[in-house]
A and B are shown apart, each in its own frame.
Chain A
Amino acid sequence: MAIIQPIAVELEPHPDVALVERVRGGDVSAYDTLVRKYERQIFRIAQHITQNREDAEDVMQDAFLKAYEKLEQFQGNSKFYTWLVRIAVNESLMRLRKRRTGKMVSIDEDVETEEGSVPRDLADWAPDPEQNYNQSELAEILRKTIQGLPQGFRIVFVLRDVEGLSTEETAETLGLSIPAVKSRLLRARLQLRERLSRYFRRKKGPGETRNEK
């Protein structure tokens, strides 16, 4: 009888692990590599949360400096990137708090809304709807639309769908439960979809002719 052998899963260590070790050993150039690898993402996340360019620049610098200072505390049981994102999220929230002169800012802000729970606008979109706009118009539409989301939904959507963190990593980064991340993600996706429908819906009606060959 055939014996089913357990498959030996050799997990390749993440390439960041070696870089982090080199930095710990005093090799600053290895940190240079890590900064280059993640600076765009960290800037984007900071910009999404603070919605302010100068703040995002400051957050990006502060997050990388803080990560460098605290590298000894990095346990290695999460990915370096996830750990860095957590620092950037906290720095961004602190920056917002300063701007609002001490008013509490949290990722739980405005999440009680029921908007978007049930899709209302069920119009189908045009095929490749983004092609109806030039690059800068489209970027403006996407910025305006995502900025309108409640903070607590926006951060979850950005981490999960734009930056590609898993549900578990997003939960860990934001200090939320997995069901909370899932519920926020669904509502964020549905609200964005609903809001984008204004721009992307298939146009019908007077003056529109179908262009079929």
Chain B
Amino acid sequence: MTCSEFLALLDDLIDDSVTAETRAELQAHLHGCEHCEVTLNTTRKTIEIYRSHEIYDLPAGLRERLHAAIMARCKKGC
């Protein structure tokens, strides 16, 4: 397996949607390719970091205000 072939399957590997056979081929490639190993690990980390950090926080006060405005209009029939 070449690095380009590995890269084409990177998302499927990350999303765990590969067959056992393909997974074994990908693992075999990883074993001998530091670049692809770094790409896989840092891409996984990228996703994890965006998932676990709230970068657009909705402060409680603002949330309550927006929530109240939405519900007031819904009660009036919008």
On A, residues with C-beta under 8 Å from B are 28, 31-32, 35-36, 39-40, 43-44, 47-48, 56-57, 60-61, 64-65, 68-69, 118-119, 122-125, 129-130, 138-139, 142-143, 146, 157, 161-162, 167, 182, 185-186, 189-190, 192-193, 196-197, 200
B2 to chain A, nearest CB (A): 12
Q: List 28 A-B contacts (CB under 8 A).
A: A32-B67, A32-B71, A35-B70, A36-B67, A39-B58, A43-B56, A43-B63, A56-B56, A57-B62, A57-B66, A68-B74, A69-B78, A119-B39, A122-B35, A122-B38, A124-B38, A125-B41, A138-B53, A143-B55, A143-B56, A161-B50, A162-B51, A189-B43, A190-B10, A190-B39, A192-B50, A193-B46, A200-B42
Give chain A's interface secondary structure class. Answer: helix
| Smallest CB-CB A-B distances: 8 pairs | A47-B56, A193-B46, A64-B70, A193-B43, A43-B58, A142-B55, A124-B38, A186-B11
Give chain B's interface secondary structure class. Answer: helix
On B, residues with C-beta under 8 Å from A are 7, 10-11, 14-15, 35, 38-39, 41-43, 45-47, 49-51, 53-56, 58, 62-63, 66-67, 69-71, 73-75, 78
Give Cα distance in the complex from A150 to B18, angstroms.
28
Given A57-B66, A122-B38, A146 and B55 touching (CB < 8 A)? yes
- Contact B10 A186, beta carbon cutoff 8 Å: yes
Instruction: With CB as the reference atom, state the residue of chain A lying closest to B39.
Output: A119
Given A32-B71, A61-B70, A123-B38, A190 and B53 touching (CB < 8 A)? no
Instruction: With CB as the reference atom, state the residue of chain A lying closest to B56.
Output: A47
Given A61-B69, A186-B10, A139 and B55 touching (CB < 8 A)? yes
Give Cα distance in the complex from A43 to B51, angstroms.
15
Residues in B whose Cβ lies below 8 Å from that of A47: 56
Residues in B whose Cβ lies below 8 Å from that of A124: 38, 41-42
A180 to chain B, nearest CB (A): 13
Residues in A whose Cβ lies below 8 Å from that of B11: 182, 185-186, 189
